[in-house]
Structure 1
C-alpha cells in the first residue's frame, strides 16, 4: 500500500503556506535537492505533462517556486525553490489533534470546556503540523506573568507561590499544591490534562508565566522547568524553580 504523504508547511515571502497535494509535495521535494527543468520534474514524477504544468503554475502563484529560462535553450524552463521548510504533521500529536476536534460537540454549551478545547486545538494543532512552539509559548508566558504580577502583593517567595496558587484556582487553570519553595504540583492542568503520553513535557506556557511572576514581584532571575507532565504519562504536572545567582 502506498504511504500517504503528510501535509507540510513552508515559509514564503507571503507567509506560511500549507501544501497537502502529493504531487506538489513531490515537486517541492525534488527542488529542495536542486533546481530542475520541467522535463526533469516530469521524468521523476509519474504524472502527465499537463498535470505537472498545472501544479508548477499553482506553486509559482503561491510564491513557493520561481522559473527562469535555460541559458542554452530558451525553449526550456528551470524551476528553483523560494521556500523554507517549516514542518510536517507528527505522530502522536496529529492523532491527538483529531481526538480534540471530536470534543467540540461534547463541549458545546459549557464555556469552560469549549474554551479549553479551543485552546488545545490551536496549541496541539500547530504541534501536529510540526511547529515547535514551546519556546514562543514560554516567552509569551513570561510576558503574561509580568502583567499578572502587577496586581499581586507578595514580598517573598512563599507569598508569591500562595498568590500563584490562588490565581490558578480562580481562573480554572488547575489546582496547585506547594511542595517546597522551589517545587509545585498542578492537578487538572488546563494546558495538558487529557493529553496522552507523547514522551515530552508540554506546559511551556505555565513555565513562562511562573517565571514572569517571580521575576516581576521579587526582582530575581529564575528558571522554571517542568519535570512531570501528562505528556510524560504522569497524573500531575510538576515544576522545579531554580533561582539564578
Structure 2
C-alpha cells in the first residue's frame, strides 16, 4: 500500500504513542498485520535491498513496534511479529460534515439521548475535521467495549448469540438488528444509533460498531471473526449492513 509523502500514522506501543511517516517502515508494519513474516518475505514485499530492510527492522524493533523471534522451523533464521497497533493516521481535513453536526447543538434536542448521540457524532467528525483518521482506534475501543458487553450473554452458539445481541441492541436503543444466514452471514441494523441522523457522506461510518461485534464474538465464542460494513446510512442506505467472516477472508 502506497501513501502520500506527508502521510503519518500513529502507533500504540508498550512505551506509548509513536508517530511514523517513513514509507518503507509503514509498508513493513502493514504487511505484518497479516501475521509473522520472515526477513526474506519482507524484502520481497517491500522490493528494497536486504541492507535497507535490515536497517528499518532494527529501528522498528528498538521502538517496540515489531519483535524479532527465532523461526521455529529453522532456528538459524528470524521471524518478525507486529508488537504495536495502528491507532490513527493523517488525512485531508473534512470540515463540512463536522459543521453540519455542530448545528445540532444550536437547536432544541428532543431528549437526553439525542444530546449524547450528537456528542458521539461530533467526536466522530471532529477528529476528521482536524485531519485525523481515527477509524483504527475507534474499532479497537469498540472491540474492548464489545468484550465487556459479551459478559451479559450466555450463549456459546453463534446463532443463539445473535439473538441475544439483537435483544440487547433493541433494549438499549441501539437499533433493530436482524440476520440473513449465508456465506458470509449478514447483519442488518435499521435505525442504527451510530449513524441514523448522520448526513450522507458517501462512505461507510460504522467502524466503531464493527469493533463492538468483533469483541462480542471473540469473548463469547473464543473465535476471531472479521466484521465489515458494506452498506451504511452514510452511503445513502436506510440501514447498515455488515458481513461476518472468518478472520482470514476479509
- TM-score, with length taken from structure 2: 0.59
Unmatched tracts of structure 1, length 5 or more: 1-10, 16-84
What is the CA–CA distance in structure 2 between the aligned matches of 1:86 and 1:141, rounded to whole Å? 20
- Corresponding position: 1:192 with 2:195: yes
Structure 1 length as normaliser, TM-score?
0.60
Q: Which runs of 5+ in 2 are unaligned?
A: 1-9, 11-16, 18-88
- Counterpart position of 2:216: 213
* Residues 44-59 of structure 1 mapped to structure 2, 5 A cutoff: none
Q: Secondary structure at the match of 2:149?
A: helix
Equivalent residue runs for 1:64-75 within 5 Å: none
Structure showing greater radius of gyration is: 1
Map 1:20-59; keep pairs closer than 5 Å: none
Distance 2:171 2:124 in 1: 22
**1:156: Cα distance to partner?**
0.5
Deviation at 1:109, TM superposition (A): 5.8
- Compute the RMSD of aligned alpha carbons: 2.3
Partner of 2:42: none
Partner in structure 2 of residue 127 of structure 1: 128
Measured in 1, the distance between the counterparts of 2:232 and 2:122 equals: 18
Per-residue CA shift, 1:159-188, capped at 9, x if unaligned? 111111111111111111222261111111
Measure the CA separation in 1 of the matches of 2:106 and 2:129.
Answer: 21
Matches within 5 A, 1:1-245: 86=90, 89-90=93-94, 94-108=95-109, 110-180=111-181, 182-244=185-247
Q: Is the 8 A contact 1:229 1:236 kept in 2?
A: yes
In the TM superposition, what is the alpha-carbon distance from 1:86 to its structure 2 partner?
4.6
CA distance, structure 1, for counterparts of residue 214 and residue 141 of structure 2: 11
CA distance in 2, matches of 1:138, 1:165: 20
The alignment covers a number of residue pairs equal to: 161
Contact 2:146 2:214 in 1 (8 A): yes
Shift of 1:88: 5.1
Structure 1 ranges of 4+ moved more than 4 A: 85-88
